[in-house]
Amino acid sequence: MADLLRLLLRVAEKAANVARVCRQEAPLFQLLVQEKTGDDKNKKFVQDFKTLADVVIQEMIRHDVGAQFPEMVGFIHGEESNKFENGLGENVIVTVCSTEEETAALLATVLDGDHTAASLLARAIHQDPATIQAETDGLTVPLSPSELGIWIDPIDATSQYIEGREEVLEEGRLSPSGLHCALVLIGVYLRSTGEPVMGVINQPFNHKDPTGGSWKGKHFWGVSYGGTNACSISPPKGGAGGRRGLSVVLSSSEKPVVKEALASLCGPGKLAYASGAGFKVLCVIQGLTDVYVLSEGSTFKWDSCAPHALLRALGGGVVDLTKSLRSARGAPAHETELTYHQPSAECKGADRWANRGGLVAYRDCSQLSSVIGALKDKL
Ligand code: 2IP
Ligand code: CA
């Protein structure tokens, strides 16, 4: 497990590099942002480029993990399909080839022959990332790769990534939107039960290097299985809300009835809104807020798996909101914690992997109970 964790930290850092390169290198950045002014055909092409950046990152992770752990091939899933239709209506399977030149040539076919952009992207994909320091020595978990599956979200909060507003993060303060909300999420689950056992989160745009002005990232990881719980960050101080009162983060598009019920539970100034599903869970992990509530089925397994594993390592979790409300109303008890191994049979396409009942992400069980109690008669 420690080997897998080290590999995931490395590939997440490579993914973060690709995300940074797409904003730093002018020919790629142009492709990312010209959507606003382009005509329809151009819009379609740029839309494709955003998807391409995601697909390339996902395939790179799949390639590197599959190379070191062949037992995991076939169990590495992500948001995107690698069957890619370019702006000219041609179908191309995007993969990472064995050499940078081959990858560049393949990418050029989906980038309308733009060899400059294709070469820049290929270089970032094949580059070795900076060494990631992680205190993983002595971490032993009795699981083998053949028991595990992976969910990848190459870039969560894509809209914030594209918009690219730069914020200076303040210690201990939740900053609701901006480039820092974009995250690379890699979650590992147990194939037999679907429980999330390991998560890596890379925040490619955490702060700017004061000397060179280039963006620097930050990474977080957690492992939780059996009696072993380990996390790169320590549980936040202050325990279960106590005197400071409960704080909650929501999507700005949350239903008014949920906003109102939680506003009266938390009191003034304790309700925050932020972008990015992964980022909101990260805010709970970091103790910037206590709970993240979402009443819609608008997140997916790739959004929640990685940060869920970190929350479990800290003693918290992520539950299905609808199931939790049902059991609070007296329905027979069922497992409410989200799992990652089974699709919803009654749905099609990406919806099969949606967290359909909404969710609550928490660090502390008593805070989860307060939230469920406040919403029990409202939804
Ligand atoms: C999105 C992204 C959105 C989030 C949505 C996710 O993933 O994180 O920000 O909505 O649930 O699926 P909101 O910000 O309202 O919480 P992606 O950017 O990868 O599509
Ligand atoms: Ca996402």
* Tokens matching residue 13: 């850092």
> What confidence score (pLDDT) does residue 311 get?
98
Residue 158 is a catalytic residue: yes
**Calpha distance 179→163 (Å, rounded):** 8
Instruction: Tell which residue, 245, 375, 249, 253, has the closest CA to residue 320.
Output: 375
> What confidence score (pLDDT) does residue 97 get?
92
The residues with which 337 forms a beta bridge, in sequence order, are 319
> What confidence score (pLDDT) does residue 273 get?
97
> What confidence score (pLDDT) does residue 238 get?
61
Ligand 1 neighbourhood includes 304 CB (under 6 angstroms)? no
| Ligand 1 centroid from CA 89, angstroms | 27
For ligand 1, mutation pick of 151, 156, 252, 281 (most atoms within 8 Å of CB): 156
Q: b/e map of 156-194 (b: 16 or more CB within 10 Å)? A: bbbebbbeeeeeeeeeeebbbbbbbbbbbbbbbbbeeeb
> What confidence score (pLDDT) does residue 288 get?
96
From the CB of residue 68, how many other CB atoms can be counted at a distance below 10 Å?
Answer: 14
Ligand 1 neighbourhood includes 13 CB (under 6 angstroms)? no
> What confidence score (pLDDT) does residue 36 get?
39
> What confidence score (pLDDT) does residue 315 get?
96
Give the position, in ligand 1's atom list, of the atom nearest the Cα of 156: 19
* Tokens matching residue 190: 């147990």
> What confidence score (pLDDT) does residue 242 get?
45
| Ligand 2 centroid from CA 187, angstroms | 12
| Ligand 1 centroid from CA 295, angstroms | 14
Ligand 1 neighbourhood includes 275 CB (under 6 angstroms)? yes
Give the position, in ligand 1's atom list, of the atom nearest the Cα of 157: 18
Ligand 1 neighbourhood includes 51 CB (under 6 angstroms)? no
Residue 364 is a catalytic residue: no
pLDDT, tens digit, 9 for 90 and up, residues 286-328: 999 999 999 999 999 999 999 999 999 999 999 999 999 999 9
> What confidence score (pLDDT) does residue 81 get?
76
| Ligand 1 centroid from CA 158, angstroms | 7
Residue 24: which residues within 8 A CB-CB, separation 6 or more?
214, 215
pLDDT below 70 — which residues of the chain? 32-50, 85-87, 238-243
Residue 54 is a catalytic residue: yes
> What confidence score (pLDDT) does residue 240 get?
44
Instruction: Please report the sign of the dihedral spanned by the C-alpha atoms of residue 90, residue 96, residue 98, residue 101.
Output: positive
